[in-house]
Structure formats: C-alpha cells, structure tokens
Amino acid sequence: MNIHEYQAKELLAKYGVPVPAGHAAMSVEEAVAAAKQLPGPLWVVKSQIHAGGRGKGKFKELGEDAKGGVRLAHSLDEVRDHSAEMLGKTLVTVQTGPAGKEVNRLYITDGVDIAREFYLALLVDRESSRIAIVASTEGGMDIEKVAHETPDRIHTITVDPATGLMPHHGRAVAATLQLDKDLAKQCGKLLASLYEAFVGTDASQIEINPLAVTDKGELMVLDAKVGFDNNAEFRHADLADLRDLSEEDPMEIEASKFDLAYIKLDGNIGCMVNGAGLAMATMDIIKLNGAEPANFCDVGGGASKEKVTAAFKIILNDPSVKGILVNIFGGIMRCDIIAEGIVAAAREMDIKVPLVVRLEGTNVKEGKDILASSGLAIIPADDLGDAARKIVAEVKQPA
C-alpha cells in the first residue's frame, strides 16, 4: 500500500524526522487557510498523487507552458491561484503513464531555501534479504537519469538484521553525501529515525528525494514516498486509514473483495490463472507468441464457481480484452470442479469474446469432458504452448 506525501511526512515526523511544516487541503479555501497557518514568505503548493515526478509533470488541461505539479508561491494570492489551477486537473508525470492522475488533494508547505539536494532511500533488498540504504549526492528531480547514466554516483549499503542500524551506517551515509561536523551528526540521527520508522511500520520503501541541506545548515526531508508491506497489514490497523482508494484501480479494489489478485496491463488477452508462478508463465508465453496480456486475475487455491464468475466479470469489465485464456492447474482443487465452475460462470456471463481453456492436473479428463459437453464455444487446449497459440490466433483475427 502506498500513501500520499503529506501522510508520509506526518508519519515520519512522529519518528523525529525533520520535515517542513505543512497542511493538506481539498479545496482552494482550505489551501489558503493552510497557508495562513504557516509563517511564509515562501510557500510550496504540491499536488498529492501516488506518483513521483510531479515537479516536472504537465497538466493535461493546461498548456505546455503551464507550471508543473509542485509550485512555489510568494504570497497568499499565489497560493490561491496555483491551488485553483491545479485542483481537479490531470497531472501526467514520468511515473503516472500517459493517462495521468487527477489531483484532488494539495499539500501546502513551508518553502525552504535549499543549499544542496540529496537522494536517500531505505528499501527491502531481496537479494541480500536485508534493508538497504541507498544514497546519492545527485538528488532532486533527475534521479532516474543519474541511475541510468552515472550509476557509480549511487551508493548502497545493507543493514544486518541481527545488529540493526549501527552508528557506522550513519557515518558511511554522511561520507557518501559529503556531510561533516554537525551535518554528519544530523545525518546519523535522521537515518536512525528513518530506520525505526521503516521497521516500526513494516514499510517496503521510504524514499526521500530530495533530502535537502537548507541555507541554515539543517537537514530537511522535502519529499517522501512511503510504501508498506501488504503482508503486514494486520499488524497496522491504524495505517489502513491512510489508504486513498481513489488512487487505486477500481477493478483491483473489486477483486480484493473476492480475495482475487487482479493486475491491469496494456495488452488485449485477459488471463485467469491460479497461482503467481503460473500467472508469470502464462504472460510470458503469450508474449512469446507475439501478443500482450490485458490483465491477469489469480483465483488462488479454491477456484469456486463464485470466484470464477467474479474473475470473469472483472476481466470482461476491461474493454481492451479481446479474448480470454484460462490456465488452471488442478492440484488440491480438482479439474472437474474447476470445469463446472467455468461452465456455470460462462453460462451466466454470456461471454462474447473467444475463450481458450487449458486445464491440467487431477481429474483432467473429467474436466475436459465437462467443457466439451457444455455446448459452449469453449476452445480446449492441451498444454500451455497450445493454449497461447490458440488465444493469440483468435485475437489476431481481423474482426
């Protein structure tokens, strides 16, 4: 689960992380009221969407010359004008994809005079099974470019979970960021707070970009992106309130109600599978045959009729779906039960796009017989390669 920048900063502040003062706002009036509570004379009006790159982003409804999604304001009038221009508009950034995201919340925050900008992130490094600290002096709005062109300017150290964060980690990060004396001390303290926040909330990432040195010689977090490990959700009931459903795909929310894992993609073949590994293999083989998956819906272990019906509904809700590939391995759940579920769901749904079904596993013969005798236009497949070739041929046929 991801949260907004203002929520991330409020959370980090509780752990002692230094952030500029600020308030969230849902309307122009709230934005001006928020600015009045801050000292000025410089404010920053920041679009709150679950994507980075806002500063360099463009609003769809505004011209190419219009300012981006993070704007400085030198007066309350400017706060008002920027807020009015940004609210309700669609912000397109390198991270949102071409569709962009509608801005419904703003964050009004103290403007800071920046002397230097760094990049600092904590994340779970799967390779070392540790929390990794990633730091670079090249912070700001072009970190993707730095990672691509000068990867040697990005330094990573990992933390042994047996010892937790040690003072030497703080010194190493301070050295990387070329901070000495008091700033090095602040850096050690900041890192300790970030680490405590990371472990305490079961975060999957905390990304600070930029971490700034202000003209007053203070380290300050100016932008924060925080994501949590969904598997630890049950341990953090309080964090659930931070979820902003308007930032999530409506069909993914619908799927989660049925305990289905649904992921929207860009192609035109809908995939119903059981298990994440089979989902990956199914998508790979569709691509190998020259087409692209539109989505995948993982019905998990117990593929009941209700679940299969819900999965068909969710897959078919996507207008880009021109064909469906069902690829299910009957292990604990027998193929005949799955086949009955597919037939019942297909009858109820009146599916108009080609449907290829590949079953394998326990009672596969009985399962195939049920599909064949259903009278429905289900195209059976013998193995994964056969299934992929058949569905790709179907969707590639001229209409």
Which residues of the chain form contacts with ligand ADP (CB under 6 A)?
20, 44, 46, 52-55, 70, 109-112, 114, 117, 140-141, 209-210, 222-223
- 140 touches, from ligand ADP, Mg ion, none (C-beta below 5 to 8 Å by class): ligand ADP
Span from 2-10, 118-126, 205-213, 317-325 in contact with Mg ion (CB under 5 A): 205-213
Shortest distance, CB of residue 198 to Mg ion, whole angstroms? 18
Which one from 6, 119, 195, 262 is the annotated catalytic residue?
Answer: 119
Q: Which is nearer to ligand ADP, 213 or 371 (CB)?
A: 213
Half-sphere exposure in the Cβ direction for 365 (13 Å, CA): 0
In the DSSP assignment, the letter for residue 2 is B
Applying CB under 5 A, the span of 95-103, 110-118, 209-217, 268-276 interacting with Mg ion comes to 209-217
Residues 100-129 interacting with Mg ion (rule: CB under 5 A) = none
- Please tell me the distance from the alpha carbon of residue 89 to that of residue 14, in angstroms, as a whole number: 32
CB of 52 to Mg ion, least distance (A): 6
- How do 90-92 and 101-102 pair as beta strands? antiparallel
Residue 318, annotated ligand binder? no
CA 366 to chain CA centroid, nearest Å: 41
112 is in an annotated binding site: yes
Among 48, 186, 209, 327, binds Mg ion (CB under 5 A): 209
- Output 91 or 279, the one with its CB closest to ligand ADP: 91
Q: Hunting for tokens 């649904």 — which residue is that?
A: 262
Give least dist CB 224 to ligand ADP, A. 8
Count of beta carbons in the 10 Å neighbourhood of residue 263: 16
225 among annotated binding-site residues: no
Q: Which is nearer to Mg ion, 207 or 394 (CB)?
A: 207
Choose the binding region for Mg ion from 28-36, 112-120, 220-228, 262-270 (rule: CB under 5 A): 220-228
Q: How many helices (H) and strands (E) does the chain have?
A: 12, 19
Q: Is 28 known as a binding-site position?
A: no
* Closest distance of CB 255 from ligand ADP, Å: 28
214 CB-contact burial (10 Å; exposed 0-12 / middle 13-18 / buried 19+): middle
Cβ atoms of residues 42 and 111 within 8 Å:
yes
* The entry of Mg ion, ligand ADP, none that residue 298 binds, CB within 5 to 8 Å by partner kind: none
Instruction: Select from 223, 336, 360, 394 the one that contacts Mg ion (CB under 5 A).
Output: 223
274 labelled as ligand-binding?
yes
Q: Which residue has the tokens 């390779």?
A: 127
119 given a catalytic annotation: yes
Residues contacting 294, CB < 8 A, separation 6+ = 264, 265, 266, 267, 268, 269, 270, 271, 315, 318, 320, 321, 322
19, 60 Cβ separation under 8 angstroms: no
Judge whether 361 is annotated as a binding position.
Answer: no
Give dist(CA 335, CA 361) in Å, integer.
7
Burial 158-185 (b: 16+ CB within 10 A, else e): ebeeeeebeeebbebbbebbebeeebbe
289: annotated binding-site residue? no
Residue nearest to Mg ion (CB): 223
Residue 248 touches which of Mg ion, ligand ADP, none (CB < 5 to 8 A by kind)?
none
With contacts defined by CB under 5 A, name the span among 17-25, 40-48, 95-103, 218-226 that binds Mg ion. Answer: 218-226
Residue 367 contact among ligand ADP, Mg ion, none, beta carbon within 5 to 8 Å by kind: none
- 367 vs 57, 361, 390, CA distance in Å? 52, 10, 19
Q: Is 207 a catalytic residue?
A: yes
Binding-residue pattern over the window 165 to 204 for Mg ion, x denoting contact by CB under 5 A: ----------------------------------------
Which one, 55 or 361, has the nearer CB to Mg ion? 55
For residues 269 and 149, give the distance between their C-alpha atoms in angstroms, rounded to a whole number.
Answer: 36
- Residue 29 CA to residue 23 CA, distance in Å, equals 13
Which residue in 85, 207, 247, 340 is the catalytic one?
207
Q: Are 267 and 323 in contact (CB under 8 A)?
A: no
DSSP string over 29-87: HHHHHHHHTS--S-EEEEE--S-S--TT-EETTS-TTS--SEEEESSHHHHHHHHHHHT
Is 117 annotated in a binding site? The answer is yes
Binding residue numbers for Mg(2+):
209, 223
Residue ranges of the annotated binding site for ATP are: 46, 53-55, 112, 117
Residues in the annotated binding site: 46, 53-55, 112, 117, 209, 223, 274, 331-333
Which residues here bind Mg ion, judged by CB under 5 A?
A: 209, 223
Which residues are marked as active site?
Answer: 119, 207
